[in-house]
Amino acid sequence: MLIVGIGGTTRGDSATEQALRAALQAAEQLGARTRLFGGAELLTQPIYDPQDDSSRGARAELVEAVRQADGLIIASPGYHGSISGLVKNALDGLEDLRDDIRPYLEGRAVGLIVRADGPQAGGSTLAALRSIVHALRGWPTPLGVVQTGEDEQDSARLILLAGQVFDFARARAT
């Protein structure tokens, strides 16, 4: 079982990417293989342009990993009440999956993580991510994790989120 993580920021070891790494590690402990596309990888993605087929090659590794994925975990910082452009651009590039037998995120559980400076930005960013995942035909997990600072429950929530993605993917596989 493969769970792909997408997210982070332009800072190499951001709190957003740390949370994503922790969730993927929890998925590995359950038996999943994982693949991370963090901020450094997302920075190499060209701006999505539906008219430009030449940029597909630069997105190919991310798109192919998502194509093979049984589940995903997406993490974004909350910037001005919504997701970052870096994460949105990566998700826009999944348009390359539209003609697949299993288009977009069809039938896949998607765990969502938001790191924000306050609860208002966190809530609206989580709502935006849920809407995008629905538009891509994915299944957002019941739990979405919003982190607004250091909370002793953060680790437990990330483990629970990873478990929901893993359990749904396993159920779909059988």
Residue 37 pLDDT grade (very low, low, confident, very high; cuts 50, 70, 90):
very high
In contact, 169 and 108? CB cutoff 8 Å:
yes
- In 102-138, DSSP assigns E strands to 109-115
Output 53 or 1, whichever has higher pLDDT: 1
Q: All domains of the chain, ordered by start, with CATH?
A: 2-173 (3.40.50.360)
- Please give the pLDDT value at position 96: 94
- Please give the pLDDT value at position 173: 82
User: What mean pLDDT, rounded, does the chain reach?
Assistant: 94
| Dist. CA 171–CA 22, nearest whole Å | 23
pLDDT at position 14 over 90: yes
| Dist. CA 94–CA 135, nearest whole Å | 11
Residue 58 pLDDT grade (very low, low, confident, very high; cuts 50, 70, 90):
confident
Mean pLDDT for the stretch of residues 121-132? 96
pLDDT in tens, 141-174: 999 999 998 778 899 999 999 999 999 999 998 7
Mean pLDDT for the stretch of residues 124-131? 97
Residue 83's H or E segment, with its range, is none
| Of residues 168, 113, 167, the one with CA closest to residue 138 | 168
- Please give the pLDDT value at position 51: 86
| Dist. CA 105–CA 123, nearest whole Å | 23
Q: What tokens appear for 144 in the block?
A: 């979405």
In contact, 72 and 28? CB cutoff 8 Å:
no
Residue 50 pLDDT grade (very low, low, confident, very high; cuts 50, 70, 90):
confident
Q: What is the pTM of this model?
A: 0.96
| Of residues 69, 66, 61, 57, the one with CA closest to residue 41 | 61
- Please give the pLDDT value at position 149: 82
Contacts of 35 (CB under 8 A, 6+ apart): 2, 3, 4, 5, 65, 69
Helix (H, G, I), strand (E, B) or coil at 82: strand
- Please give the pLDDT value at position 102: 95
| Dist. CA 156–CA 169, nearest whole Å | 20
